[in-house]
Structure 1
Amino acid sequence: MVKKIAILGGGESGIGTAILALKKGYEVFLSDKGKIKPKYKEVLKNIEIDWEEEQHTEEKIFQADVVMKSPGIPDKAPLVVKLKEKQIPVVSEIEFASWFTKTPIIGITGSNGKTTVTNLIQHVLKEGGINSEMGGNVGNSFAKMVAEGSTDWYVLELSSFQLDGIEKFKPEIAILTNITPDHLDRYEYKLENYVASKFRITENQTEEDYFIYDADDEIIAKKLKQTPIKAQKLPFSLEKKLENGAYIENENIVVKINNTKFTMPTKDLALEGKHNTKNAMAAATVAQLLRIRKQTIRESMANFQGVEHRLEKVLKINNVLYINDSKATNVNATYYALESMETDTVWIVGGVDKGNVYNELLPLVNEKVKAIICLGLDNDKIVNAFGNIVDNMVETASMKDAVQIAYRLADKGDTVLLSPACASFDLFENYEDRGRQFKEAVRNL
């Protein structure tokens, strides 16, 4: 009997799932409540499956043996609730794709740093001659890679939303970069729900697998005390020397795994800032596990170009440096950005607030920020948090205006930093769109 799959959402994960399901002999129906982007429509027309947009035809969806829902659709959505009442399994694209591959997986999650770590690992693997493909929450969907693929390793960035929909999915190497309050609007504003979601990356791991994590992160440390983990633990730390794992000694990164030792001077790392030292530790630990030559690891870490929209240096104009950190969609990411500023800073901030608390930024803003430009439709929270600290505060609702105001407020030697600490959906399509508009506005100055 032909199995039926209904796919909710016609974005990257939905299209990838459709391609894989079709290849595996499923009868496929794809349904998107919104409009499907033209590039994805093209694919749908080519693969000849049944699909619809701007509606959900429930009687068709309820005929499915399994439903894949895109990560953006919350579990509380009425249609998802009905599916569960009817006991129709609802899984994520990550889970569905994992049913059809035996290729080992490196899975990376965390509130911040996961895109950088994913790209850095992929870079080191490629330089080390290992055949690997990168995707998941960044780049290609996992399902599409499985449908097309022949590779020796998958390197997957995984969001908490993607991990929410797993049952059997298991990475051979799991990385948890850190946990800070984020997306709490999706988790009933309970931090423990969000933490549990992140820890799902290791729930199916066995004693033969590895779990790499930040040992300095208090939220992770607390959860580890409460949660037995089967995988072999490889922590990384800037604060303490470790028996097994990665730590700092005499300004060198040291990675020790079962009597093998790798060292590299922190000054040679391409990426600056304490958080990037941790990102490098996580990637170096993976490289050590995969037995990549030590010299290759060092060279890869030294020549890595970084990730677009993450502390990306755009241009210097009149000796003012413009930095695009549009990917900073939560307070903690912005904390890292402000911490790495070494000059007076004009800070562009704002967007859709996900339950932000700005207190932890106050000392940094006090020390480094000379002016704040609010870029959002509702800036009250930012104005209330920082209005008394910064003399210059301007509200604006367009990137062009924000950049032109920043140009007027910045003096020689200053930095203009776009690090919004918020989601982008009030004024932009996504954080990439926001970052590109920033770069364009800077180039047009």
Structure 2
Amino acid sequence: MVFALNNQSPYPCHSLECLGITPDSKVIVVGLGVTGMSVLRYLLKQQLHPMLVDSRANPPGLEELRDNCLELDITTGEHAFDHLDTATHLIVSPGVALTTPEIEAVRQSGIQILSDIDLFAIEAAAPIIAITGSNGKTTVTTLVGNMIAHAGKSVAVGGNIGTPALDLLNAPEPDAYVLELSSFQLENTCHLQPEAAVVLNLSADHLDRYDDFSDYSQAKASIYNDATVIIKNFCEQSLDLNDNCRHHDKKKRYFGITDDQECHFRLEMIDDKEWLVAYDQPLLAVSDILIQGRHNISNALAALALVDAINIHPASAVAVLREFPGLPHRMEMVRDLHEVTWINDSKATNVGACLAALQGINSRIILIAGGDAKAADFSVLSNSINEKVSDMIVLGKDADLLQNTFQTITNMHHVHTIEDAVTLATSLSSSGDTVLLSPACASLDMFKDYQARGDAFKNAVMRLPQ
């Protein structure tokens, strides 16, 4: 097996000076949270004296920050952004929209606006694999990290998953970094130069933050701008790189659920069995992949393409696919009770993820959905719901929107709690059915996060009598 990584950073100075940040710079960190805290830790370690501003009166982590950084200049509340124009550099957390009027004014004035990923990219010397997409990011990021480790190399995994990118720099330099990146992180990043980058898929999401789907797609596609190798979903029609002149000279590799021989990482029928294929070489029968769902076959192919870009042979990497069980809250089988299968897909926080879940199940479905729709268009689910869903149980902020969209094609039921949904689903289901929690919505209207929503569902299911 060949494994040779280029450890030459595109930024040989490995210093904030590459960004024009010196001890005399006035750096303002906008937004606290997990990312903002990591930025402050990093800057303080560089012997800088940043200022923190947050428009919330009491953002998470504020008390800890004040206890540990007594001399840090902190401004919170509705007037926190009033003096952003005094900065030489703004480092904006991903939870803060760049369209915020005060930040837009600073941008127009020419003050440099950066992200935590920019700071990370300047300092990191090891190759970076960058992963985004509407769905599947965490699964693919985890798979790629496991594949690199299986190849006997050190790897650091983080970004939008687990450890913030800048905190990865506190450990010894690995052989490779693997970063999951959201559109919020990418929209304000301009110094990332990954060895390989992928947009796994695109479906309407976060339209409460973006002007339209095109605006959201452009934020995602920016991950490719300075990548050495572009990994593209062969079957994804909503992201056309051919119109972007920056990508003409890039090395491209394609993956997808297709048997088209122009696709480098694809499927092929061999002796009546479906196989994963890389460069015409059969690697693994689909039936030998442990994770379930058609969308996870696509995720597996994407992971193989990404590690191939850093010279890990796919034939070696498939060993991980035999053993990887998947991640919690992503098509997680909770229980098989009275021949009814209960599945927790709470991570399906948008319509694309819900659609993938529905398409991957062959039995009759009782669907539990609802929450904060984030201005999404649910109509794309209509065909799958019409074909597969006998009953739909809705709850949360946008339950009425779901009710109005699907009441003519399936039986609709409105409840107020996840426990009520589980109780009702029990009475509606029969032998051979699948009860699927796949909300197609964010969870914050009712829960701390999608994990809390999924845990509540699992707890309710596990309390059902035998």
**Same fold at TM > 0.5:** yes
Residue in 1 that maps onto 2:12: none
SS class of match (1:99): helix
2:434 to 395, 415, 436: 415
Q: Is the 8 A contact 1:3 1:25 kept in 2?
A: no
Q: What is the aligned residue count?
A: 435
* 2:40 corresponds to 1:30: no
Q: Which residue of the partner structure matches residue 3 of structure 1?
A: 25
- The residue aligned with 1:334 is 354
1:428 and 2:451 are equivalent in the alignment: no
Displacement after TM superposition at 1:11 (Å): 1.1
Give percent identity, aligned residues only.
33
Match of 1:355 in 2: 375
Q: CA RMSD in A?
A: 2.2
Instruction: Report the equivalent of 1:224.
Output: 242
Pick aligned residue for 2:224 from 198, 202, 212:
202
AA in 1 matched with 2:214: E
Query: Shift of the alpha carbon at 1:422?
Result: 1.2
Structural mapping, 1:42-191, within 5 Å:
42=64, 45-48=67-70, 49-58=72-81, 61-189=84-212, 191=213
Tell whether the 8 Å contact from 1:22 to 1:28 is kept in structure 2 after alignment: yes
Which range moved further: 306-315 or 397-406?
397-406
The 1:407/1:33 distance shift into structure 2, 3 A limit, reads farther
Please say if residues 19 and 147 of structure 1, whose CA atoms lie closer than 8 Å, have aligned partners that are also in contact.
Answer: no
CA 1:272–1:193: 2 relative to 1, 3 Å:
same
Structure 2 counterpart of 1:194, which letter?
A: Y
Deviates more, 1:266-275 or 1:7-16: 266-275
Answer yes or no: is the 8 Å Cα contact 2:266–2:276 preserved in 1. Answer: yes
Deviates more, 1:352-361 or 1:362-371: 352-361
What is aligned with 2:296?
276
**If the length of structure 1 is used for normalisation, what is the TM-score?**
0.91
1 CA distance for matches of 2:103 and 2:370?
A: 31
Matched, 1:322 2:342: yes
Whole-Å separation in 1 of the counterparts to 2:82 and 2:393: 49
| Corresponding residue for residue 242 of structure 1 | 261
Does the CA contact (< 8 Å) of 2:195 and 2:309 recur in 1?
A: no
Shift of 1:435: 1.6
2: CA distance, partners of 1:332 / 1:18: 35
- Rate the CA distance shift 1:182–1:363 in 2: closer, same or farther, 3 A: same
- 1:283 deviation in Å? 0.8
Contact residue 92 and residue 164 of structure 1 kept, 8 A: no
C-alpha deviation, 1:409, in angstroms: 2.0
Contact map agreement 1:20 1:97 (CA 8 A) in 2: no
Which of 331-340 and 358-367 deviates more? 358-367
Unaligned stretches of 5+ residues in structure 2: 1-22
* AA aligned opposite 1:132: V
- Distance in 2, matches of 1:226 and 1:17, equals 32
Residue aligned with 2:208, SS = helix
79-88 or 228-237, larger mean C-alpha shift = 79-88
> Which of 43, 47, 61 is the matching residue for 1:21?
43
Aligned residue identity for 1:410: S
Helix, strand or coil at the partner of 2:53: strand
Note closer, same or farther for the CA distance 1:297–1:106 as it changes in structure 2 (3 Å cut).
same
Distance 1:58 1:335 in 2: 40
Residue type at the aligned position of 2:52: L
The question of whether the paired residues in 1 share the 8 Å contact of 2:195 and 2:310 is answered with no
1:217, distance to aligned residue in structure 2 (A): 0.9
Q: Which residue of 2 aligns with 1:211?
A: 230
Query: In 2, distance between residues paired with 1:344 and 1:396?
Result: 21
Per-residue deviation at 1:44? 5.6
Q: Contact (CA 8 Å) 2:369, 2:438: kept in 1 or not?
A: yes
* Residues 191-222 of structure 1, C-alpha deviations (whole Å, 9 max, x = no match): 222221111101123xxx111110111112x3
Displacement after TM superposition at 1:157 (Å): 0.7
Residue 99 of structure 2 aligns to which amino acid in structure 1?
A: K
- 2:29–2:51 CA contact under 8 A, matched in 1: yes
Listed one character per residue, the Cα deviations across residues 391-442 of structure 1 (whole Å, up to 9, x for unaligned) are 3x22123222222222222223322111111112211222222222222222
Aligned match of 1:344? 364
Q: Is the 8 A contact 1:202 1:231 kept in 2?
A: no
2:17 counterpart residue number: none
Task: Sort the Cα spacing of 1:47 and 1:440 in 2 relative to 1 into closer, same or farther, 3 A.
Answer: farther
| Aligned partners of 1:324 and 1:418 also within 8 Å | yes
1:306 aligns with 2:326: yes
**Cα deviation, residue 121, structure 1:** 0.7
Structure 2 CA distance for partners of 1:361 and 1:396, relative to 1, 3 Å = same
Q: Which runs of 5+ in 1 are unaligned?
A: none
Alignment partners' CA distance in 2, 1:435 and 1:16: 28
Equivalent pair of 1:262/1:294 in contact (CA under 8 Å): no
SS of residue in 1 equivalent to 2:106: helix
User: Hey, what's the Cα distance between the residues in 1 that align with 2:325 and 2:74?
Assistant: 40
Q: 1:347-393 deviations in whole A, cap 9, x for unaligned?
A: 111111123223332222122212111111232221122111223x2
Give the whole-Å Cα distance in 2 for the aligned partners of 1:22 and 1:56.
25
Change (3 A) 1:41 1:136: farther
